Amino acid sequence: MVWKNKFHERINELWKRAKEKKSKMTQTEYARRLGVTRNALLGWLRGSGQPDVDGLVRIASTENVSLAWLMGDERPRKENELLQDEQTLLYSFRSISPEHKDYLLWLAIRWKEAEECASE
């Protein structure tokens, strides 16, 4: 079977990412961000239960992930479908100023050129 419910693993991954972005974030702060109590979050992190459909939608929206990914979909992606890291990068890119977008694109081109030179 390609798909099975992996909410427990995915919520742990999202919590880990949140801590990496903001090292002093507490579980209480993260729970508030998701619109739930700390106890609810702790239960999910331990694998006891999961939110209702509205809660799943709220988490997916807040964390900029798909519901399918949040629930454990591991089917091979379709052509041109973005990976989770690519979705996060695109979401971040869309929120920065035009000047920073230009600089980021310039950097990406230079990195690509440097990798191509290194592989020759």
How much of the chain exceeds pLDDT 90, in percent? 48
Q: Over range 92-96, report the average pLDDT.
A: 87
Please check whether residue 106 is in contact with residue 99, taking contact to mean a CB–CB distance below 8 angstroms: no
Domain ranges of the chain: 7-71, 84-119
Structure tokens at 112: 């690509």
pLDDT tens readout for residues 15-65: 999 998 888 899 999 999 999 999 999 999 999 989 999 999 999 999 988
Helix axes 7-21, 27-34, angle to 10 degrees: 110
pLDDT tens readout for residues 49-58: 899 999 999 9
Per-residue confidence band for 79, with pLDDT thresholds at 50, 70 and 90? low
d(CA 6, CA 48): 12
Q: Could you give the 3-state DSSP secondary structure of residue 49?
A: coil
What class has domain 7-71? mainly alpha
